[in-house]
Amino acid sequence: MINTKKQIVYAAFIFVGAGLLIYDLISVSDIVYIKIAGLVILMIGLYCSTKQWAADNPKEKDDEKGSDDDLHLGDKYSVEDVSDDQSKLN
């Protein structure tokens, strides 16, 4: 189930962080603490919102099974020792 209250809070974090960064770009005095606070708040909002979106939209079983098949290529292919006489690289 989609939790809209959390999404609104995380979106507010993103907007506040972006607002602080824009304010620091526009303001005459260059205050480093505003940049740091804006970046930290923005990144927290982005991290939490992407975590929430991933929880709201889980992957289907077919997608996970298909990705596991790619990891087991050793079953389909084999590596054999070839002597230098039989090697085509020479």
Chain segment 54-85, per-residue pLDDT in tens: 887 877 765 555 555 555 655 666 667 667 66
Are 11 and 49 spatial neighbours (Cβ–Cβ below 8 Å)?
yes
Q: Which domain holds residue 9?
A: 4-75
Are 39 and 17 spatial neighbours (Cβ–Cβ below 8 Å)?
yes
What is the pTM for the complete model shown?
0.60
The answer to the question of residue 85 being in a domain is no
Please state the rounded mean pLDDT for residues 29-35. 86
For the cut 60, the answer to whether the pLDDT of residue 36 exceeds it is: yes
For the cut 90, the answer to whether the pLDDT of residue 14 exceeds it is: yes
| Two tokens, residue 27 | 């303001």
The answer to the question of residue 19 being in a domain is yes
Calpha distance 47→52 (Å, rounded): 9
Tally of domains in the chain: 1
